[in-house]
Amino acid sequence: MQDKLLALKDEALAQIGAAQEVRQLQEVKVKYLGKKGPITEVLRGMGALPAEERPKVGQLANEIRRQIEEELEARIRELEQKQLEEKLQQEKVDVTLPGRPVREGTTHPLNGVIEQIEDIFLGMGFKIAEGPEVESDYYNFEALNLPKNHPARDMQDSFYITEEILLRTHTSPVQVRTMEAMKGQVPVKIICPGKVFRRDTDDATHSHQFMQIEGLYVDEGVSMSDLKGILLQFAREMFGQNQQIRLRPSFFPFTEPSAEVDISCILCGGTGCRVCKHSGWIEILGSGMVHPWVLERAGYDPNKYTGFAFGMGVERIAMLKYGIDDIRHFYTNDGRFLSQFGRI
């Protein structure tokens, strides 16, 4: 019986030594050490042995079990180590290889120009305010002295969602909301950049969706000369230090008096050319003193406070600054156009 056990041990160890995969070793384990394996069988047959021999055979059987288990463990570790090394070898990465270049994006020219304009006004003490693109009739029109039946409120000119709700046609509602939220405190000194929507047919100079920046300054004693000083400073920082501006009388329902603002032609400097249609001037924005009725509706006593406001189309400013001839370039996402602006 002892010989049989020793033979089994040699057999098992030989198979362990020959195994090339962990799976094979698991088979060896089941085969020799399992409940139905030959060693268990030998132990079961011990009843037939003389009593004095049983401990010896039992001891030997246990010793062999232990030895087989140890060898199995050792071989499993060895194979796992080998597998790991092979895997590391196969998956080796050459970290010194040059990487694939990543195509970096550029700032969209409209965002770049908005940031420039924001920086200029932040430098003059303005804060930035934003608000919803979907507006109520009240904030978009009524509060701005554009009563029902005013031609600017024609259903044909705005994107209405319901009779009372529409896509804002300017960022003025943000200024009204800001004044309301400030509950009569001064100064209100804000610029409001954002998307606006008008039911226009798109062409080289019109887009049904565009960017606007409006400004508002309300305090005691704010005058038309403050408006002119602030806008002259803006024109010079945006288009060059030798810029001149010119105010022409105009009309908006929400300002009185109102003025259109021109800058001296950025191409010819005022001598007259194709860009300025030989006038020497280019219109860049609309402005005026906030209508007393608008101030009052927003919670400011028009006998105590005055304010100026202005509004400009960002696309127009960007087109002038960069010599862009078609507003649609801003929205058609042609990389050849967009990549020219880098990180403005």
Q: Measure Cα distances from 50 to 54, 155, 313 in Å.
A: 7, 112, 110
Are 174 and 194 contacting, i.e. CB atoms less than 8 angstroms apart? yes
Minimum distance, C-beta of residue 250 to ligand 2NL, in the bound complex (Å): 8
Three-class secondary structure assignment of 193-219: EEEEECCCCCCCCCCCEEEEEEEEEEE
Stretch of 4-12, 60-68, 183-191, 210-218 lying at the interface with ligand 2NL (CB under 6 A): 210-218
What is the C-alpha separation between 331 and 63, in angstroms, rounded? 83
| 126 touching ligand 2NL, by CB under 6 A | no
Nearer to ligand 2NL, 255 or 264 (CB): 255
Are 312 and 284 contacting, i.e. CB atoms less than 8 angstroms apart? yes
| 259 touching ligand 2NL, by CB under 6 A | no
| 158 touching ligand 2NL, by CB under 6 A | no
Stretch of 61-69, 84-92, 156-164, 169-177 lying at the interface with ligand 2NL (CB under 6 A): 169-177
Residue nearest to ligand 2NL (CB): 311
Q: Which of 216, 230, 235, 284 binds ligand 2NL (CB under 6 A)?
A: 216
What is the C-alpha separation between 135 and 131, in angstroms, rounded? 9
Nearer to ligand 2NL, 212 or 306 (CB): 212
Nearer to ligand 2NL, 158 or 172 (CB): 172
Sign of the torsion angle spanned by Cα atoms 250, 256, 257, 258: negative
What is the C-alpha separation between 87 and 81, in angstroms, rounded? 10
Minimum distance, C-beta of residue 313 to ligand 2NL, in the bound complex (Å): 5
Stretch 299-328 residues interacting with ligand 2NL (CB under 6 A)? 309-313
Check whether 21 is labelled as a binding-site residue: no
Nearer to ligand 2NL, 32 or 305 (CB): 305
| 207 touching ligand 2NL, by CB under 6 A | no
Q: Provide the pairing of β-strand 306-313 with 281-290.
A: antiparallel
Minimum distance, C-beta of residue 228 to ligand 2NL, in the bound complex (Å): 14
Q: Which of 15, 158, 169, 172 binds ligand 2NL (CB under 6 A)?
A: 172
| 289 touching ligand 2NL, by CB under 6 A | no
What is the C-alpha separation between 187 and 217, in angstroms, rounded? 7
The DSSP letter of residue 91 is T
Minimum distance, C-beta of residue 318 to ligand 2NL, in the bound complex (Å): 14
- Mention every residue, 6+ apart, whose C-beta is less than 8 A from residue 20: 79
| 37 touching ligand 2NL, by CB under 6 A | no
Kindly state the number of chain residues that form the binding site for ligand 2NL, as judged by CB under 6 A: 19
| 194 touching ligand 2NL, by CB under 6 A | no
Are 273 and 283 contacting, i.e. CB atoms less than 8 angstroms apart? no
| 286 touching ligand 2NL, by CB under 6 A | yes
Stretch of 45-53, 182-190, 234-242, 282-290 lying at the interface with ligand 2NL (CB under 6 A): 282-290
Nearer to ligand 2NL, 15 or 207 (CB): 207
Closest listed residue to residue 215, CA positions, set 194, 200, 243: 194
Q: Provide the pairing of β-strand 188-197 with 127-128.
A: parallel
Instruction: Give the number of other Cβ atoms within 10 Å of residue 14's Cβ.
Output: 11
At 295, the amino acid letter reads L
Q: Measure Cα distances from 248 to 222, 230, 262 in Å.
A: 19, 16, 8
Please enumerate, by residue number, every residue annotated as part of a binding site for Mg(2+). 256
Q: Which residues lie near ligand 2NL (CB under 6 A)?
A: 172, 175-176, 212, 214, 216, 252, 254-255, 286-288, 290, 294, 309-313
